Chains A and B, each alone.
Chain A
Amino acid sequence: MAEVHINGVTKSFGERAAVSNLDLHIADGEFVVLLGPTGAGKTTTLRLIAGLEKPETGKIHIGGRDATDLEPAARDTAFVFQQYSLYPHLSVFDNLAFPLRSPARRFSEDAVRRRVGDVAKMVRIDHKLSSRATKLSGGEMQRVAIGRALVRKPAIYLMDEPLSSLDAKLRADLRLELKRIQAELGATMLYVTHDQIEAMTMADRIGILTDGVLVQIGTPKTIYTEPANLHVAARLGQPAINLLPTGLLPDADAPTGTKTIGARTEHLTIEKAVNGHADGTVDWVEHLGDQNHLHVTVGSKKLVTLTDPDTDLAKGDRIMIRYRAPLFFDAAGDRIANR
């Protein structure tokens, strides 16, 4: 394991900059998740570290060594691709053993068997070692792909949306396992996803990428409670944060310069209107079982928030809405710190 430094790295494809002037420092044993929409430059960042792409400017240091111009094989990284990328004509065992059988490593066949056995147990695929890679289900294939990265002890594990093609249940299971494995190994890991739940649950730190720019990086809690701007705020939270203009609801304590108010569920109190005055009406209530999504119209704006599963609010109800320490953003979209 080792730390990775990326300094001022830029990579363009044609006219478009996939990653521009990226600075990222991943500490030894840290789990960093890059979160962003498709085309934000997440995968390119991974490929730059792995050496599958060469940066136009900037430096990449892996374990204190300048790796900017090194070939992928010389960098000591392990990559889990979004498409399983198993070797289809090989068995699960041979797929897992593939990185160990590199002449650069020279493990005895005995050592290979032991290591593959350990890793197979770790990713829970040890009952399928002799199966052909192509005969596995999607979840099993991805376990093998993750296992193939784990058999090595590289400077850094690079994972490119490894769970995105799995079904929800499997994704939840593997998410936990991956976090457990990472903690067990003390592995340095850079993990790319567009799934905010994966980011929130697994990361030591989350980096938010937009259009090739790292907008903010910090602990999940910081990113969630102190987003740098509207974009970061919109990436986290379910249902998504409500962005409302000032003046729509009583907002006397808003700092000067506030243009937009960001309100998540926890920033809103909702009550049935008792006397004549009301702020909005309930459009409908979405029952999700353990909770409800409440859709509300306020003036010309629509709001979505969570309510208790046993709420007595119903469609057509007129309601009072008040802010409770919401987020404030200025005209440029940057958050104004709370005093």
Chain B
Amino acid sequence: MTETGLTMLNRTADGVARATPEPLARRVRGMSDKGLAWLFISPTILLLLAINIFPLIWAIQLSFTNYRANRPNELVKNVGLSNYQRILNDPDIWIAMQTTAHFVFWTIVLQTLIGFSLAYLIDRKFRGHAFWTTIILVPMMLSPAVVGNFWRFLYQPQIGLFAYAVSFVTGIPPTQIEMLSNVSLAPWSIIIVDTWMWTPYVMLICLAGLRSIPEYIYEAAEVDRASNWRQFWSITLPMALPFIMLAVLFRGIENFKMFDMVNLLTGGGPGSTTEVASITLKRQAFESWRTGYSSAFAIILFVAVFGLANIYVKALNKVKQR
């Protein structure tokens, strides 16, 4: 069946080729259209192979060995699945995963709530809304390294503005507000910074969603006597939902591998209270130099994110098709 279809297709294609003038490529260089297409995409493909696919394959290979990057001359032994086994049985790893999940959960909840609310307000198109949109977007445009460093100053108990402001409101002396070194505050200090920096991003996507809802649907609802509350729940939210879900997906993936902010602000401390998976990974790879072991961990993280993202995208498509 397929073969017949294919032969028929070829015959048609031949017929067409004979009837119409030859494509430019064939006339000029004796090159087929397909060859030309490959020529054009090859730089991208090569780059992708060199910086994405090749390291990935190498990491997979390393994950089955006891290789250590700081001892290149030592004999490399194939250890099979034992790296994976040890990781999955390591309680510290599971604690790091829990810490990561905690970060991902709270950053998404806060950024979605605040981001959508901001988008909803900006969408009212009040006087000067374009100006405020730009102002709100500023944190997102900064370099994470800069953000991390100046929030360290803001969080500073003696001279930091954050501690001062909190103490001004609550009356607690600023020196007791040790955001980065207090065990119970440190995780929240990172959640706050990440939310401050990336809520604008969520807002932007939500705003695109809200702007995509045509005005006449609201007018129809208004004539149909739907209250503002009902318009929000039965029109605004369902129609913006695919966009909100997209924002959650992007932020979720991004925060699952959150590294820069944690490394700059707390370095995983105090103790290991803010040690997310990527910090553990860095410590194993570049402090303990257990290259094979950390490669295995990286692969596990990759599969986890990939799997979760796939399930999520399926759900997203279902929502979009409704």
Q: Which residues of A contact B (CB under 8 A)?
A: 50-52, 71-73, 77-79, 81, 83, 85, 87-90, 98-99, 102-105, 132, 148, 152
Contact = CB atoms under 8 A, between A and B. Distances in A.
Contacts of B254: none
B219 A98 contact: no
B219 A79 contact: yes
Contact of B222 (A52, A87, A88): A52
Interface stretch (B54-62, B63-71, B72-80, B224-232): B224-232
B166 interface: no
Nearest to A73: B225
Contacts of A104: 225
A81 B238 contact: no
B219 A89 contact: no
B223 A52 contact: yes
Contacts of B217: 85, 87-88
Nearest to B239: A89
B102 to A, nearest CB: 33
A132 B319 CA distance: 13
B28 interface: no
B225 A105 contact: yes
Given A83-B214, A85-B216, A85-B219, A103 B239 contact: no
Instruction: Choose among A51, A78, A87, A90 the residue with the greatest number of B CB atoms under 10 Å from its CB.
Output: A87
A112 B94 CA distance: 53
With most chain A CB atoms within 10 A of its CB, the pick from B219, B223, B234, B238 is B223
Interface string B193-233: 00000000000000000000010110111111111001000
B322 interface: yes
Contact of A132 (B214, B222, B225, B322): B322
B216 A102 contact: no
Interface string B277-316: 0000000000000000000000000000000000000000
B2 to A, nearest CB: 31
A102 B224 contact: yes
A63 B300 CA distance: 71
Interface residues of B, number: 18
A79 B225 CA distance: 11
A86 B251 CA distance: 32
A89 B238 contact: yes
Nearest to A134: B322
Most A-side CB within 10 Å, residue of B220, B227, B234: B220
> What does DSSP make chain A's interface, helix, strand, loop or mixed?
loop
B223 A72 contact: yes
Contacts of A81: 216, 219-220
A52 B221 CA distance: 11
Contacts of B223: 50-52, 72-73, 77-79
B235 interface: yes
Contacts of A148: 220, 224
In order of increasing CB-CB distance, the 5 nearest A-B pairs are A99-B224, A102-B225, A73-B225, A79-B223, A85-B220
Nearest to A74: B225
B225 A99 contact: yes
A73 B235 contact: no
Contacts of A77: 223
Contacts of A79: 219-220, 223
A52 B220 CA distance: 10
A253 B226 CA distance: 62
A211 B230 CA distance: 38
Contacts of B221: 87, 98
B234 to A, nearest CB: 7
A102 B219 CA distance: 15
Contact of A72 (B216, B222, B234, B238): B222
Nearest to A82: B216
B216 A103 contact: no
Contacts of B220: 79, 81, 85, 87, 148
A102 B216 CA distance: 18
Contacts of A83: 214, 216
14 contacts: A52-B223, A71-B222, A73-B222, A77-B223, A83-B214, A85-B214, A85-B216, A85-B219, A85-B220, A87-B221, A87-B235, A98-B226, A102-B225, A105-B225
A253 B239 CA distance: 67
Nearest to B223: A79
Contacts of A132: 322
Given A83-B216, A85-B216, A89-B238, A102 B226 contact: yes
Given A81-B219, A102-B230, A132-B322, A88 B239 contact: yes
Contacts of A85: 214, 216-217, 219-220
A13 to B, nearest CB: 15
A46 to B, nearest CB: 10
A51 B225 CA distance: 12
Contacts of A103: 227, 230
A100 to B, nearest CB: 9
Contacts of A98: 221, 224, 226, 234
B28 to A, nearest CB: 46
A22 B294 CA distance: 79
Nearest to B319: A89
Nearest to A80: B220
B19 to A, nearest CB: 34
A150 to B, nearest CB: 12
A99 B234 CA distance: 12
A303 to B, nearest CB: 43
Contacts of B230: 102-103
A77 B225 CA distance: 9
Contacts of B225: 72-73, 99, 102, 104-105
Nearest to B227: A103
Contacts of A52: 219, 222-223
A87 B234 contact: yes
